[in-house]
Amino acid sequence: MDPEYVETVLDVVDLVPAGSVTTYGDVALVVGRLLGRGGPRVVGTALRDAGGAVAWWRVVRADGTPPQHKVAEALALLRAEGCPVRRGGRVDLGRARADLKVLVAGAETAREGASDGGPEKDLDAASGDRE
């Protein structure tokens, strides 16, 4: 997989605060705006391949369900963060969905203030260490 795409996905997911979630589609829209490629399935592949480098459990399907292969683990982590989970294991997206447009805009503003204002496409300045 394209390393630039994976890093951008990880940077976007890093912006989602504890107790909130986003969807694979939301991440794909933001990454698509930044890089001009990708989709929800590619986002899922990037997260899988990253091996837990970010809070992967904060990315759910459009219906609010976590990744099927890690449902129990994801729900436990989401509940521990105070994320609203409905009966049946679906996140209440109306209450928990992070506004990625606002988060990315804030990260870009922070990056521009911390740098020389160059036209970087990644969000590294806002995402913190993953090591």
| Chain segment 39-48, per-residue pLDDT in tens | 999 999 999 9
Domain with 90 in it: what CATH number?
1.10.10.10
Q: Which position has the higher pLDDT, 40 or 52?
A: 40
Of the pLDDT bands very low, low, confident and very high (cuts 50, 70, 90), residue 37 is very high
Q: What percent of the chain has pLDDT over 90?
A: 73
Does the residue 22 lie in any domain? yes
What is the average pLDDT value for the chain, to the nearest integer?
88
Q: CA neighbours within 13 Å on the CB side: how many for 4?
A: 10
Does the residue 129 lie in any domain? no
Does the residue 49 lie in any domain? yes
Domain residue limits at 10: 3-110
Question: Taking each helix axis from N to C terminus, what angle separates 100-114 and 3-14, rounded to the nearest 10 degrees?
Answer: 100
Does the residue 119 lie in any domain? no
Does the residue 122 lie in any domain? no
pLDDT higher than 80, residue 94? yes
| Chain segment 108-127, per-residue pLDDT in tens | 888 777 765 544 555 544 44
Domain count, the chain: 1
